[in-house]
Amino acid sequence: MPDEEVLEEGILNPVQPEIQDPLLRELLADEPAVTPADTPQEQAQPTPESDEEVDCVVVGTGAGGAPLLARLARAGLKVVALEAGPWHQPEKDFATDEKAQDFLFWNDERLAAGHDPLAMGKNNSGTGVGGSTLHYTAYTPRPLPDDLNLHRDFGLGVDWPLSYEELAPYFEEVEQFLGISGPTPYPWGPARAKGYPLAPLPLNSAAQLMVKGCEKVGINTSPAANAALSARYYQEGVGWREACTNRGFCQAGCSNGAKASMDVTYIPLAVQHGADIRPNCFVTEIERNAQGAVTAVVYTQNGQTKRQRCRHLFLCAGAVETPRLLLLNEIGLDSGQVGRNLMAHPGVQVFGTFADEVRPNKGIPGALISQDTHRPQDADFAGGYLLQSIGIMPVTFAGQVARGRKLWGQPLRDYLRSYNHVAGINILGDCLPHADNFLELAEEKDARGLPKPRLHFTAQANEQRMSAHAEALMRRIWEAAGATDIWSFQRYAHVIGTARMGLSGDDAVTDRDGRVFGVPNLYISDNSTFPSALSVNPALTIMALSLRTADRFLEKMK
Amino acid sequence: MPVPSYPAGTVRALLTTEHVSAATRAALEARLDAPADYQPQFFAPETFALLAAVAARLLPQPERETAIPLAPAIDQRLAEGRADGWRYDALPPDREAFRLGLGGIQEIAQELFKNDFLPLNLEQQDTVINALANGQPPGQTWQELDAGRFFEELLAELTETYYAHPLAQEEIGYVGLADLPAWTKIGLNQREEREPQANG
């Protein structure tokens, strides 16, 4: 049904076939990329002969792939990164315009099922060298130690096969390398060996209002840790990066390199150490030998099918495309867990209107944080959440008003005239795995002829109670800060857990080092390996795990 | 709080200044200078006219001499087969959903007023849209098409199209486009010289 165009009265036969993937359309049209990107020929390294075997192929260049890529290249290994999207030049290409920046998102269609269907695309899924870090909000809080032990503490979900102490050195390394701006000391969690390298970014209006409201309600707040520079910053292998100019456009791409997306941090480091980055390469097949070991990947680049032989393969394509590749290739499926345990962070937002001028487009969107709600005393749920102030861009806000308030006509236009007086708070909360929440391959095909992924997500009692607790609290905070016309927008962010790590291949897809059980030379490094969702934004933990996976791999190679 | 209004002309005045990057200027000028006589590429003319009439009720622009065009963005997207990364599993593919959904709006109009949507007066048109927005509209179409999800998708796409237009952004006092070299006054009640003040 879906790919057959039915001719109906009143509908003209479209000239173009229904190809929903802009990249593929370009390929089929046999034209250079129309996105404002430099074509791969200008930036990629020379393509090796097809029969050359490299040490490692890394699929995906986001938070899971890029740190590992740099580490492996630095160790002298011959590494190739295959990235589905193009390689941008942000200074030149990135507009301060939400619509124009649509090319940053993974726009291939995913089917969202369940009672709480997950919005994808700009909500949580990117493409291009740098992956989703091109549009992440740059939140980089560390998980708190007990985030890793929900089962120990509540008898629910599963524990991580790793401790906070094992991850802490990697958190520190990433924070120092990216140049995180944040408070020292950090008010929550264990004492740290090193503080953040830069002072926090300035508080914008939404953050100032949240301080005011939280003081009255009795909640401690702090300037947040953000992966955007509060001052110029130098790192070996990267050079100087400029300070944040408070554009407030993190979610639509940073144009001056202040935000630590992978394309301005770990990717240049990897290139300096000889990594071969190949943009516009979409991987479709994983080839194996009789022993079940990976021997090569097959991918398409500019309309051509290519094969890259490799000794080791690292899947770092995110929690949708990584399990999709495993399912398509029927590899690593012994545990029966691939695609299962899909989790998403409760991310309910509460907006209010203030007599003061807010102008919510300016400044780092998430300038203020509170983790006082990490384990609320009056909680009727397992786990907890954090609170963040939110600035917001106008088109994103308008879309949420349409979806969340269902205002239309004159009331819609009247409400949005108050944009300059609106501020928000949101949470990021933990999520438990549930049998009803999973990813599968749909019968419906994409333009490549591959099955589309279908994501089932229904918030269970724990997520519902947490969201209700958080919404009531945020409403109290905004009332205390003087807001009127307070409303909430129910949402879930990030896809997590679809190829989880664990101690045994009986109930996990990878071991604690990211190696896939049952396949000797296949690794996963992205948020699909998270055994539980964590009550913090995932990017920092993905990067820390990426470095750890690389180190563990290199130790085994010795 | 009274609804603020902002002076006209601020966006066009800023566009030519050094506060706007070349990439930003190119994106916004393309939208400002879009030809007024858009010819539909995907929809038949009468279906396109229906979509435009529905859009005019969801985002009415009685005060504008020339309305910000909304239907062309949807027509273009469907013609090119573009998606935004996800779709409610409850809905069929976008082209099918729009075919069914616009037909379904005609059906509501027929059920309620024994007439097509276009000839209805504005009050009647709003009654039709209200029936759709409430999620339980009359008509055979809505037995197979999820009215709530279809309405949400239609409204969200039109709303985002409207507020992506520089003149709609000017209407709400947003000049984020003029972000060079930096925003330095970002706190409560702080305004950069180039940011407009609300009227009165």
pLDDT of residue A34: 39
User: With a CB-CB cutoff of 8 Å, which residues 106-125 of chain B face chain A?
Assistant: none
ipTM reported for the complex, 2 dp:
0.98
CATH number where A140 lies: 3.50.50.60
pLDDT band at A17; cut points 50, 70, 90 = very low
What integer is the mean pLDDT of A183-206? 98
User: With a CB-CB cutoff of 8 Å, which residues 144-163 of chain B face chain A?
Assistant: 151-152, 155-156, 158-160, 162-163
Indicate whether A36 pLDDT > 80: no
Residue numbers in A near B174 (CB within 8 A): 361, 394, 419-420
Percentage of chain B beyond pLDDT 70 is 100
Percentage of chain A beyond pLDDT 70 is 91
Indicate whether A27 pLDDT > 60: no
Cis bond leading into A169, ω under 30°?
Answer: no
pLDDT band at A239; cut points 50, 70, 90 = very high
pLDDT of residue A201: 98
pLDDT of residue A40: 40
Indicate whether A3 pLDDT > 60: no
pLDDT band at A50; cut points 50, 70, 90 = low
Indicate whether A46 pLDDT > 70: no
pLDDT band at A62; cut points 50, 70, 90 = very high
Phi, psi of A305 (to 5 degrees): -85, 130
A46-55, A209-218, A468-477, A531-540: range with lowest mean pLDDT: A46-55
3-state class percentages of chain A: helix first, strand second, coil last, to nearest 5: 30, 20, 50
Do the domain assignments include residue A16? no
Indicate whether A19 pLDDT > 50: no
What integer is the mean pLDDT of A460-467? 98
pLDDT of residue A29: 52
DSSP A459: -
B193 to chain A, closest Cα gap in Å: 13
* Cα B128 to Cα B109: distance, rounded to the nearest angstrom: 6
Do the domain assignments include residue A368? yes
* Cα A107 to Cα A458: distance, rounded to the nearest angstrom: 23
Cβ <8 Å between B21 and A95: yes
Indicate whether A41 pLDDT > 90: no
pLDDT of residue A10: 36
Cβ <8 Å between A16 and B43: no
Chain segment A332-342, per-residue pLDDT in tens: 999 999 999 99
Two structure tokens written together for A169 = 């050195």
The domain tally of chain A equals: 1
Crossing angle between the packed helical segments B71-80 and B45-58, to the nearest 10 degrees = 130
Indicate whether A538 pLDDT > 80: yes
Are A481 and A389 contacting, i.e. CB atoms less than 8 angstroms apart? no
Residue numbers in B near A206 (CB within 8 A): none
Nearest beta carbon to residue A109 from set B40, B87, B96: B87
- The rounded mean pLDDT for chain B is 96
Residue numbers in B near A10 (CB within 8 A): 43-44, 46-47, 99, 103
Q: Comparing C-alpha atoms, which of B157, B71, B88, B153 is closest to residue A120?
A: B88
Two structure tokens written together for A214 = 């939280």
Query: Which helix (H) or strand (E) segment is A175 a member of?
Result: helix A164-178
pLDDT band at B2; cut points 50, 70, 90 = confident
pLDDT band at A16; cut points 50, 70, 90 = very low
Interface test with A, best of B29, B61, B86, B169 (most A CBs within 10 A): B86
Indicate whether A30 pLDDT > 50: no
B148 to chain A, closest Cα gap in Å: 10
Chain segment A283-300, per-residue pLDDT in tens: 999 999 999 999 999 999
What integer is the mean pLDDT of B154-165? 98
Indicate whether A39 pLDDT > 70: no
Cβ <8 Å between B85 and A107: yes
Do the domain assignments include residue A548? yes
pLDDT of residue A291: 94
How would you class A130 by CB atoms within 10 Å of its CB: exposed for 0-12, middle for 13-18, buried for 19 or more? Answer: buried
Residue numbers in A near B186 (CB within 8 A): 202, 204-205, 246, 359, 362-363
- The rounded mean pLDDT for chain A is 92
Chain segment A468-480, per-residue pLDDT in tens: 999 999 999 999 9
Residue numbers in B near A399 (CB within 8 A): 156, 159-160
Q: How many CB atoms lie within 10 A of CB B170?
A: 21
Indicate whether B136 pLDDT > 90: yes
pLDDT of residue A394: 98
DSSP string computed for A236-287 = TTTEEEPPP-----GGG--SSS-B--GGGTHHHHHHHTT-EEE-SEEEEEEE
- In which domain, by residue range, is A310 found? 22-557
What integer is the mean pLDDT of A23-38? 46
Cβ <8 Å between A421 and B4: yes
Are A433 and A369 contacting, i.e. CB atoms less than 8 angstroms apart? no
Indicate whether B200 pLDDT > 90: no
